[in-house]
Amino acid sequence: MRFAFGEIRRAKLRFALLIGAVALLIFLILFQQTLSGSLLGQFTGGLQHQSATVLVYNVDARRSVDASRLLPQQVAGVAQVEGVAESGPIGEASFTAQLASGEQRDTTVFGYALDGPGFPTTLTEGRLPQTEGEAVASAQDAANGYGIGEQVTIVPGDTSITIVGLADNLQFNVQPTLFVSYPTYESLVRSTNPDARGVLPNLVGVEPAAGVDPVTLAGDITAQVEGVEALDRDTAVASLPGVSSIQQSFGIILGLAFVVVILLTGFFFLIITVQKTPSLTLLRAVGASGGFLLANLLTQVLIVIGLALVVAIPLTVLAVQGASSAQFSATVEPSVVITTSLVILVLGVLASIGAMRRVAKIDPAAATARIAGGGLA
**Do 248 and 237 form a contact (C-beta atoms < 8 A)?**
no
Taking Cα atoms as reference points, which of 265, 285, 277, 286 lies closest to residue 23? 265
Alpha-carbon Rg for the chain, nearest whole angstrom, is 29
* Residue 374, pLDDT score: 47
Q: What pLDDT does 377 receive?
A: 40
Q: What is the pLDDT along the chain (377 residues), one digit of tens a residue?
A: 666 667 777 778 888 888 999 999 999 999 988 888 888 888 899 999 999 999 999 999 999 999 999 999 999 999 999 999 999 999 999 999 999 888 999 999 999 999 999 999 999 999 999 999 999 999 989 988 999 999 999 988 788 999 999 999 899 988 999 999 999 999 999 888 877 778 999 999 999 999 999 999 999 999 999 999 999 999 999 999 878 888 888 888 888 889 998 899 888 888 888 887 777 777 777 777 777 788 888 888 899 999 999 999 999 999 888 876 656 677 788 888 999 999 999 998 898 888 888 888 777 766 566 545 444 44
Across-strand partners of 240? none
What local confidence, expressed as pLDDT, does residue 249 receive?
83
Residue 324 pLDDT: 67
Confidence (pLDDT) at 373: 47
Closest CA to 24 of 292, 267, 260, 241: 260
pLDDT of residue 9: 76
d(CA 239, CA 254): 22
CA torsion angle 360 362 363 364 (round to 10): -100
According to the model, what pLDDT value does residue 117 have? 95
Task: Collapse the DSSP code of 234 into the 3-class scheme (helix H, G, I; strand E, B; otherwise coil) and give the result.
Answer: helix
pLDDT given for residue 292 in this prediction: 79
Provide the pLDDT for residue 270: 87
Q: What is the pTM of this model?
A: 0.77
Query: What pLDDT, on the 0 to 100 scale, is given for residue 78?
Result: 96
pLDDT at residue 69, rounded to an integer: 95
DSSP string covering 88-118 = EEEEEEEEEEE-TTS-EEEEEEEEE-TTSS-
Interior angle at CA 255, CA 249 and CA 258, nearest 5: 145
Q: Is 128 left (phi over 0), alpha (psi -120 to 50) or beta?
A: beta
Q: Are 77 and 147 in contact (CB under 8 A)?
A: no
